[in-house]
Amino acid sequence: MPGTESAFPIDLKKYRKLTLDPSKPQLTAEQKSTLLHNIQLLRDALVLFTATGAARGVSGHTGGAYDTIPEVCILLSLFEASEKYLPIVFDEAGHRVATQYLLAALDGHIPPEHLLHYREANSKLPGHPELGLTPGVKFSSGRLGHMWPMVNGVAMANKEKVVFCLGSDGSQQEGNDAEAARLAVAQNLNVKLLIDDNDVTIAGHPSQYLKGYDVSKTLEGHGLKVYTVQGEDIDALWAAIAAVVTYDGPAAVIAKRLMAPGIADIEGSTHGHDVIPVKAAIKYLAARGYPTSVSEDILNNIKPTGVPYLYIGSSKEVGANRVVFGEAVNLVLDKLSKEEAAEKVMVIDSDLEGSTGLKVIHQKHPEVFVPSGIMERGNFSTAAGFGFDANKFGVFSTFSAFLEMVISEVTMARLNNCNVLSHFSHSGVDEMADNTCHFGVNSFFADNGLSDVQSWLYFPADPLQMVAVIQRVFFERGLRFVFSTRSKVPYILKEDGTKFFGDGYKFVPGKDETIVDGKAGYVVSFGEMLYRSWDAVLRCRQEGLDVGLINKPTLNLVDEQTLRKIGSSPFVLVVESLNQKTGLGSKMGTWLIERQLTPKYGYMGTTKEGCGGLSEQIPHQNLDPQSIIMKIKRLSN
């Protein structure tokens, strides 16, 4: 049968169990043959099932997991040989989740056929490993730099065991790993790191954008015993792993290799970091000797799916606010000479320029652009330091989930009166196949100053409003935070069909915007939830329920006039995709009560872990228009 109904065509039962003894660092011919067989078998399987992510349009990651299969096969052979090893393949790089799913299938926790549902909504195979969700997955991972410190603790709790952690030259850039290295050495922990040093991250090659960075020298400097080998030389790799296992204390193997070795179309390129394209996977598997029909019947019969819905109140045309951010910054910089721009503005990237809109700035205004590594805390503070001068402005950007990593740095930037414009893309949950660990739902954490200082949190509703916001606030002083989603958004339309934020619109910081007035009550929303709320409000109005809608693009400031208006109506409903515990809805009720305004009150936000997939995430959180309508009707009654 075609597509995901197929049997898994690569027989994982052909995996040959092997035992390896680290006191014998030289492989026999039979051991080497078995290892090479297992490596190729698992790499082929991984290419096939990760390519289903490309086929269904949910992206994914092939190269990193493919790279580390030799290390994984060696670890399995050690686990098979002795109980002195903790039998968990911890991995700092959660995007290499395909490894964990492959191990779950090998162990019999999931059938191999289920791998063909990789990153599909509700398949329990999301974009990062989640403990308790996927049978056979033994830990959660997904934010770089977070696993090694935890593994140190695991080693402390299991002193009689050798504990392994897969790492990468990307994850090693995070400051957490420097702290973990110092503790591991100070406590002589029995932690062994196996680091894939492929010189590829999302935005480029560390050897080019982070000159001087050397994983081996860094770890040696911290005091670890380090062995550096060519990762595709299985004899050298085994000898190095045997050496670190028998070494008393923390040690690391640095496995140097090209990204995705042996996959012609993506080898050594940044494309290998993401999911392998369907055509490249078919080509690879054909070259490996598999009948073309094996991969074609599966991959060519898997298509993107969605949650079909015809919205009213917004355009069919959509735009990516996360990209428009960079275009809007360019519009500001275009008005300056190159010299003036370089003197006044610095834009620093954290290896996500293609995802957060900074790439267009890099291309058009290289004089202000600083490529940097996966070092969010340091990069934010660098942007703040540039903006320490009252007439200079730092620009910082990363995913909204990683805002949680820079909160202390935000505080210090505020205390130093720094000028920083931060763009946090991938906010909320919409189209977040990477799932829960990448949800950007705690945006209000940025507003962590005391009441005698002010920060500004902006969440534009569509591309036109994004441009208007950046034009207005770019050269404002202080800390400004702008949010956007991974998903594209339509343009908000007035009831006469014209664009709400089109000609004549001026953004005013702190001012709420009335999309439509209503006597029955008000919905308050912003960002990517505004067009969904507008659809729900319009459908209620068609049924005779006179509901109003307020857009709140400045999230954390009270607009007294608007608050009094909506607070004097029968009900107020806040609709957002931020964390229901920490978002706007958790605050607005207090604002109303403080002013003795007592409408019926409700708030809707993200409340549970994700379901994977793309458009399925919003209805999974009960934030789709029909759910909003139901909540409106309950409050209006």
SS3 readout for 344-407? HEEEECCCCHHHHCCHHHHHHCHHHEECCCCCHHHHHHHHHHHCCCCCCEEEEEEEHHHHHHCH
Amino acid at 248: D
pLDDT tens-digit series, residues 34-59: 999 999 999 999 999 999 999 999 99
Going by C-beta distance under 8 Å and a sequence separation of 6 or more, which residues neighbour residue 397? 325, 347, 349, 350, 352, 356, 357, 358, 422, 423, 424, 425
Give me 473's structure tokens. Answer: 């606030």
Q: What is the per-residue pLDDT for 529?
A: 98
Q: Is the pLDDT confidence value at 25 over 60?
A: yes
CA–CA distance, 314 with 530 (Å, rounded to integer): 10
- Our CA dihedral for 301, 306, 308, 310, rounded to 10 degrees, sits at -130
Strands 489-492 and 393-399: unpaired
Closest CA to 412 of 392, 382, 370: 382
Going by C-beta distance under 8 Å and a sequence separation of 6 or more, which residues neighbour residue 188? 248, 249, 250
As a whole number, mean pLDDT of residues 615-623 equals 98
Residue 424's φ and ψ, nearest 5 degrees, are -110, 105
pLDDT tens-digit series, residues 510-561: 999 999 999 999 999 999 999 999 999 999 999 999 999 999 999 999 999 9
Give me 71's structure tokens. Answer: 């290390």
- Single pTM value for the model: 0.97
Closest CA to 531 of 633, 618, 608: 618
For the chain, give the mean pLDDT. 97
DSSP 440: B
pLDDT tens-digit series, residues 171-214: 999 999 999 999 999 999 999 999 999 999 999 999 999 999 99
Amino acid at 251: A
pLDDT tens-digit series, residues 375-428: 999 999 999 999 999 999 999 999 999 999 999 999 999 999 999 999 999 999
| E-assigned strand segments in 413-455 | 420-425
Contact 631, 142 (CB under 8 A): no
Q: What is the per-residue pLDDT for 294?
A: 82
As a whole number, mean pLDDT of residues 603-607 equals 98
The 10 Å CB-count burial string (b at 16+, else e) for 485-502 is bbbbbbbbbeeeeebbbe
Contact 307, 430 (CB under 8 A): no
As a whole number, mean pLDDT of residues 89-107 equals 97
When pLDDT is cut at 50, 70 and 90, the band that residue 10 belongs to is: very high
CA–CA distance, 587 with 571 (Å, rounded to integer): 16
Q: Is the pLDDT confidence value at 2 over 80?
A: no
CA-CA-CA-CA torsion sign (209, 210, 215, 216): positive
Q: What is the per-residue pLDDT for 4?
A: 81
Closest CA to 521 of 493, 535, 541: 541
When pLDDT is cut at 50, 70 and 90, the band that residue 1 belongs to is: low
Burial class of residue 609, CB neighbours in 10 A (0-12, 13-18, 19+): middle
* H runs (alpha helix) in 172-320: 175-186, 206-209, 215-222, 234-246, 278-287, 292-299
SS3 readout for 84-107? CECCCCEECCHHHHHHHHHHHHHC
pLDDT tens-digit series, residues 159-174: 999 999 999 999 999 9
Q: Is the pLDDT confidence value at 353 over 60?
A: yes
Largest CA distance in the chain: 82
Q: Which long-range contacts (CB under 8 A, 24 or more apart) does 13-21 make?
A: 14/41, 15/41, 15/42, 15/106, 17/77, 17/80, 18/73, 18/76, 18/77, 18/80, 19/77, 19/80, 19/81, 20/74, 20/77, 20/78, 20/80, 20/81, 20/238, 20/242, 21/81
Closest CA to 480 of 526, 440, 423, 427: 423
- What is the separation of C-alpha 155 from the centre of its chain, rounded to a whole number of angstroms? 28
Going by C-beta distance under 8 Å and a sequence separation of 6 or more, which residues neighbour residue 36? 234
CA–CA distance, 71 with 92 (Å, rounded to integer): 14
